[in-house]
A and B are shown apart, each in its own frame.
Chain A
Amino acid sequence: MLQKKINYYEVIKNGIFKENTIFKLALSLCPSIAVTNNLRNGVLMGSAVLFVQVMVNITISIMRHFIHPRIRLPIFMLVISGWVTVTDMSMAAFAPDAYKQMGLYIQLIVAFASILARAEMFASKNRFIPSMFDGIGMGLGFLFALSLISFFRELLGKGSLWGYEIINAKPLLIFILPAGGFIAVGILMGMFNWIYGKYEKKSS
């Protein structure tokens, strides 16, 4: 098989840097602002997406021989919404306080273009193990982006991290307001592009 040669480290690195869902592809942006006003919610949301992405990729790659190409999109949507329902209900059971704040956004993971795109582009063509690693890579990239955004927003807006106080001041209150979310993501995205551009220039 050709696919034996896939380098898992590269697959994961690709998901985190080269095709980072938020910073590079600018997809699935809704939760990147909505839930990132504190680090805990950002990490929880990122983990939920990581879980859904991995499970969807695994399910699709196992079933890929049984899915008729014509009806693949509805089937993918069904698989995704099934796993999102699982995540939604477990979140409601195990983390009720966080769920109150971000329940709607968990349910909306269904509409993420990135998950559907990975299922379509990677999992429906590859075997079980590479699809799993692809899911882990994309999910980690998302988790990384959300953690980075929420880290800066909570630190600058509230002076705390994960709910614990770090500095006894609120340096830039705007960052926890909705408007600050857009500005924070814009600045971080620009920085990411800048650093990544330098790295690419060096390696080529």
Chain B
Amino acid sequence: MSSEFTKVFELIISASLINNFVFTRFLGLCIFFGVSRRMETAVGMSITFTSVMMISSGLSWLIFNYVLVPWDITFLKIIIFIGIVAGFVQASDTIMRKISPVLYHKLGIYLALISTNCIILAVPLINAGEHYSFIESISFAFGSGIGFALALIIMASIRERLELADVPKPFRGTPIAFIVTGLIALAFAGFSGLIKI
């Protein structure tokens, strides 16, 4: 039991820090540069994103292992996973609007953006490729969500200051954000080798 717990803990740490999706796997960059302009949107996006990702990767795991594998149609996994994500996002959008309008008002716009995020599709694909168990898949999704949230919040706090900086005109906006991300990625490279999986 304890070794199981260690494995889960290692997965979370490795997905959030060492193999951080934004800085070492370069996924979810569109969203990353899109919503990191302000702290408030960054926090909202992180919360929505992490919860949606955990649930959708759980669903994908169930469907992959109980439908696709027994019927031997794993080559359809891309289509099925994108279907699950899009369907789940649409469903949670409707449910949230009915049950909690306040929450919907705060986080609803991020839900629509989520389905264009590569990470939300990459996590189920990696889970399927690595043959993770159900618990491992969920914790991997949780770690990835935390990692993405961390990246987003660090970036948002830097960009709020960057607005005031005197940047050459062609570099304003996304280009300078890229260079800043490069520097953060260099710092995150220091985490590599912390845990070997």
Contacts and interface: CB of A to CB of B under 8 A. Distances in A.
A is bound by B: yes
B24 interface: yes
A142 to B, nearest CB: 14
A84 B78 contact: yes
A26 B116 CA distance: 14
A81 B30 contact: no
Chain A interface residue count: which class? 35 or more
Interface string B49-89: 00000000000000000000000000110110011001000
A187 B79 contact: no
Interface stretch (B1-9, B35-43, B133-141, B166-174): B166-174
Interface residues of B, number: 41
Main secondary structure of the interface of B (DSSP, over half): helix
A116 to B, nearest CB: 8
A108 B122 contact: yes
Contact of B118 (A111, A177, A190, A194): A111
Contacts of B48: none
Nearest to A196: B170
Interface in A95-149: 104, 107-108, 110-111, 113, 116
A179 B170 contact: no
Contacts of A74: 83, 86
A26 to B, nearest CB: 5
A185 B78 contact: no
A63 interface: no
Given A29-B33, A110-B78, A111-B116, A182 B185 contact: yes
A72 B112 CA distance: 16
Interface of B: 23-30, 33, 75-76, 78-79, 82-83, 86, 116-118, 120-122, 125-126, 129, 168-171, 174-179, 181-183, 185-186, 189
30 contacts: A26-B30, A26-B33, A27-B30, A29-B26, A30-B29, A31-B26, A34-B27, A78-B79, A78-B83, A88-B78, A89-B75, A104-B129, A108-B118, A110-B82, A111-B82, A111-B116, A111-B117, A111-B118, A111-B121, A174-B186, A177-B189, A179-B186, A181-B26, A182-B179, A183-B182, A186-B174, A186-B176, A190-B171, A194-B170, A197-B170
Given A27-B30, A104-B122, A190-B171, 18 more contacts: A29-B30, A30-B28, A74-B86, A77-B83, A77-B86, A78-B83, A81-B82, A84-B78, A85-B76, A85-B78, A108-B122, A111-B120, A177-B189, A179-B182, A180-B182, A190-B168, A191-B170, A193-B175
